[in-house]
Amino acid sequence: MSLLSRLSSSSVLRKGAPRTFFGIHGVTAVPLLQHSILHTESSGKGPTEIIMDPHNNSTASPSFERSITIPVLPTVKSPFESTPDSPSRKPLSMWPGMYHSPVTDALWKARSSICERMWPPPSLDGPPQQTLITRTPEDSRISIVYGFTSDYILREQYRSAWDECRIGRLMEDLDALAGTIAVKHCSDNDSITRPLMLVTASVDKIHLRKSITLNQDLRMSGAVVWVGRSSMAIRMEIRQPPGGTSEEQDQVALIAIFRFVARDSMTGRAAPVNHLDPQTEEEKRLFEQGKAYDERQKKRRMQHVDNGMKSPCDGERLQALLTEGRVLQDMPALADRNSLLIRETSLENVHICQPQQRNMHGRIFGGFLMRMAFELAFSTCYLFVGRRPLFVEVDRIDFLKPVDVGDFLRFKSRVLYTEEDDPRRPLISIEVVAHVTRPELRTSEVSNTFYFTFTIDSEATMEQGFMVCKVLPATEEEARRLLERYDADREEQENLG
């Protein structure tokens, strides 16, 4: 008799068969499901269940002769099965957060409390916001604390393979925090008007100023620092004590600037956002900085259009790069031994977008895309230099098109350029491009572009014979992209002083 036949005739499936239940919440039950249940014939007593240890093929103790069923009990009820005031109800808008980090979950809960009128869902036929409110940066400020020193599970969720904090996880949380801050700033406290749809447009910068450990608590905070007509810049910081000191001596470990745009939730068109009134000298400085950055980006986009969608590059520099690349292609034995073609540094991975990765609007969470791109960029740099890379900064991320559940998403990475102005701190620039591919329609569109900078430990650079390769373009497109990114990075460094 086959195993399936014996299973179907066993007492496990018989109505009324005695069972033992262990109430285990959530995924805690998963490790206990590793025991296989085999069935043997016993004389005159029908089939008997024997639990086998899959590691040593020995039977369990006689007290466990009967098979057990371990139910996975729900911790909260579906929002459709409980009333809005039920203590066990989790708001409908919060369900995607169940599959992300606990910090992202907490931030989405805070956002849901700001927009609690979303239950029941507001009618899109409601009027748009009539009067814009003037708010201060402090009005939108939100902070969240990571209790690493007291919460073992939280610490494990953020632990990397090198016993450090996972930067990709923090990127998810930064996107969630920025979205919650944007909602707080744009809220009009009116339950009649339809809510705005706020989406991440870009990441201007994420700069790591010092390493982040799991031995001290973290504080992540941020506020709106600049607003345009329908867009806003949100500046966030991560602070961590340098070694058990008081909160007043916390050091800024990371700075991030995100840009959000507001859309009318019914028409999808750009919608005006509340005004911002900076109060302190620091707030005024950050406001002017955000305004200047916005003007530079507009100017860069206009130049891009004027040049027929090609980046404006110096013709001589372009040809010089292509000449070097041609030597490496046509005469590899005579080329610089420390050179490599850009295309030879590329990596790729694919991902089918699942419902567990969606955000509160039902589309794929931008923070998840950032983490996926960061981890591919990290791997690309790791394979390129042969040493564990150290994250320096995100130079730029653009969210060009939304990504939906079910999309076939392809991430392609490559090293764009390397820089060795400081031999003890070489810089490696990595580009990651995300494509939404639809095989049924034979289409593929760029949804996101990501630019990361990494370095390596200074001790590794002192090893005898260690060198970081120079990468060269093989095509005009690669040469233009290299120069465009290099010039943009230099310009931002000059503007930041």
Per-residue model confidence as pLDDT tens digits over 394-432: 999 999 999 999 999 999 999 999 998 887 899 999 999
The tokens 């991320």 sit on which residue? 397
* Residue 41, helix vs strand vs coil: strand
pLDDT above 50 (res 181): yes
- Number of domains composing the chain: 3
Mean pLDDT of 335-364: 91
Cβ–Cβ contacts within 10 Å for residue 171, how many? 26
Mean pLDDT of 38-43: 38
User: Does any domain span residue 394?
Assistant: yes
C-alpha closest to that of 382 among 391, 371, 369: 391
Domain check: are 341 and 480 in the same one? Answer: yes
C-alpha closest to that of 427 among 459, 458, 472: 458
- What lies within 8 Å, CB to CB, of 228 at 6+ separation is 273, 294
Percent of the chain with pLDDT over 90: 53
The two tokens of residue 369 are 């895309």
Mean pLDDT of 265-285: 92
Q: What is the pLDDT of residue 66?
A: 61
Mean pLDDT of 188-207: 87
Amino acid, single-letter form, for residue 233:
A
User: Does any domain span residue 81?
Assistant: no
Domain check: are 189 and 331 in the same one? Answer: no
Domain check: are 375 and 416 in the same one? Answer: yes
Give helix then strand counts, H and E, for the chain: 9, 18
Q: How far apart are CA 233 and CA 259, in angstroms?
A: 5
* Residue 195, helix vs strand vs coil: coil
Mean pLDDT of 359-386: 93
Q: What is the pLDDT of residue 193?
A: 79
Decide which of 73, 99, 117 is a domain's last residue.
73
User: Does any domain span residue 133?
Assistant: yes
Q: How far apart are CA 161 and CA 166, in angstroms?
A: 9
Q: What is the pLDDT of residue 36?
A: 34
Mean pLDDT of 13-28: 35
pLDDT above 80 (res 17): no
Between 337 and 390, name the one with better pLDDT. Answer: 390
267: left (phi over 0), alpha (psi -120 to 50) or beta: alpha
Cβ–Cβ contacts within 10 Å for residue 283, how many? 19
pLDDT above 80 (res 26): no
Q: Using omega within 30 degrees of 0 as the cis cutoff, is the peptide bond preceding 79 cis?
A: no
pLDDT above 60 (res 471): yes
Q: What is the pLDDT of residue 359?
A: 83
Mean pLDDT of 422-448: 93
pLDDT band per the 50, 70, 90 thresholds, residue 445 = very high
User: Does any domain span residue 166?
Assistant: yes
Q: What is the pLDDT of residue 50?
A: 35
Amino acid, single-letter form, for residue 145:
V
CA 275 from centre of chain: 29
Q: Answer for the pair 276, 448: CB distance below 8 angstroms, yes or no.
A: no
Domain check: are 275 and 386 in the same one? Answer: no
Q: How far apart are CA 261 and CA 229, in angstroms?
A: 9
Mean pLDDT of 40-46: 40
User: Does any domain span residue 461?
Assistant: yes
Domain check: are 354 and 242 in the same one? Answer: no
Q: How far apart are CA 340 and CA 236, in angstroms?
A: 37
Q: What is the pLDDT of residue 86?
A: 60
Domain check: are 296 and 169 in the same one? Answer: yes
Phi, psi of 484 (to 5 degrees): -60, -45
User: Does any domain span residue 177?
Assistant: yes
Q: What is the pLDDT of residue 129?
A: 77
Domain check: are 146 and 224 in the same one? Answer: yes
The two tokens of residue 255 are 């700075």
**CATH code of the domain containing 117:** 3.10.129.10
CA within 13 Å, CB half, 180: 29
pLDDT band per the 50, 70, 90 thresholds, residue 114 = low
Amino acid, single-letter form, for residue 132:
L
User: Does any domain span residue 363?
Assistant: yes
Decide which of 17, 49, 73 is a domain's last residue.
73
Q: What is the pLDDT of residue 63?
A: 47
User: Does any domain span residue 80?
Assistant: no
401: left (phi over 0), alpha (psi -120 to 50) or beta: beta
Strand partners, 144: 220
pLDDT band per the 50, 70, 90 thresholds, residue 38 = very low
Q: Answer for the pair 403, 436: CB distance below 8 angstroms, yes or no.
A: yes
Mean pLDDT of 342-368: 91
Q: What is the mean pLDDT of the chain?
A: 79
Cα distances (Å, whole numbers) of residue 245 to 209, 239, 241, 248: 18, 12, 6, 8
Task: Kindly state the DSSP code that residue 97 receives in the 8-state scheme.
Answer: G
CA 21 from centre of chain: 39
Domain of residue 436, residue span: 310-496
The tokens 């201007």 sit on which residue? 204
CA 47 from centre of chain: 51
Cβ burial of 63 (10 Å; 0-12, 13-18, 19+) is exposed
pLDDT above 50 (res 118): no
Q: What is the pLDDT of residue 437?
A: 93
Could you tell me the pTM of the whole model?
A: 0.78
C-alpha closest to that of 118 among 185, 173, 193: 193
Domain check: are 337 and 433 in the same one? Answer: yes
Cα distance from N-terminal residue to C-terminal residue, the chain: 78
Q: Using omega within 30 degrees of 0 as the cis cutoff, is the peptide bond preceding 54 cis?
A: no
Domain check: are 172 and 51 in the same one? Answer: no
Q: What is the pLDDT of residue 482?
A: 95
Domain check: are 325 and 424 in the same one? Answer: yes
* Residue 81, helix vs strand vs coil: helix
Decide which of 305, 332, 348 is a domain's last residue.
305
User: Per residue in 286-334, pLDDT tens?
Assistant: 999 999 999 988 888 887 665 655 656 678 899 999 999 999 999 988 8
Q: What is the pLDDT of residue 68?
A: 61
pLDDT band per the 50, 70, 90 thresholds, residue 10 = very low
Phi, psi of 291 (to 5 degrees): -65, -45
Between 98 and 229, name the one with better pLDDT. Answer: 229
pLDDT above 90 (res 252): yes
Q: What is the pLDDT of residue 147?
A: 92
Domain check: are 227 and 102 in the same one? Answer: yes
User: Per residue in 377-398, pLDDT tens?
Assistant: 999 999 999 999 999 999 999 9
Domain check: are 354 and 418 in the same one? Answer: yes
C-alpha closest to that of 189 among 232, 138, 129: 129
